[in-house]
Amino acid sequence: MAQIQFKSEQVRREYADHRVPPLLRRIVGFVAAVVPEPYDVLITDVWRSREETRRIYGRYKHSPHHHWRAVDLVLVGPDGGRAGDDVYTHVKARVGDAFSGLRPLWWPFPICIYHDVGRGKHLHLQVWRGAK
């Protein structure tokens, strides 16, 4: 099983905060369980201010990070290099298979997104308001 690491002590504290839904932590744990060796999970972002979102996107964009309902992570090898697209695509599919059935009908967003918003490709995990 992959280790879960944190970009900074601040990110570690945010992840431990009671406002992060237990379901989101379960999904992160699942990712750690399905990531192939030799990769580990590096959590890079949990809570994000609206100002930081503006800096990232160049405009205001609503984000579940504003409400403690999202985690960004990368998969890193022992040399610090990131996993290839094939590994991310595999993990994204496994998360979808395992958790998409929990998604309420009123919430149209995927639980796991693999994308790059200008800071490098990463997995964005998110849950809906009221997720337990």
pTM assigned to the model: 0.95
Which CATH number fits the domain 4-126, given the four candidates 2.40.10.10, 3.30.1380.10, 3.10.180.10, 3.30.365.10? 3.30.1380.10
| Structure-token pair, residue 12 | 């570690």
**Separation of CA 71 from chain center:** 3
Give per-residue pLDDT as tens, 25-83.
999 999 999 999 999 999 999 999 999 888 888 888 889 999 999 999 999 999 999 99
* 112-115 vs 70-76, strand pairing mode: unpaired
- Domain residue ranges in the chain: 4-126
Yes or no: say if 42 and 73 are a contact pair by the CB < 8 Å rule. yes
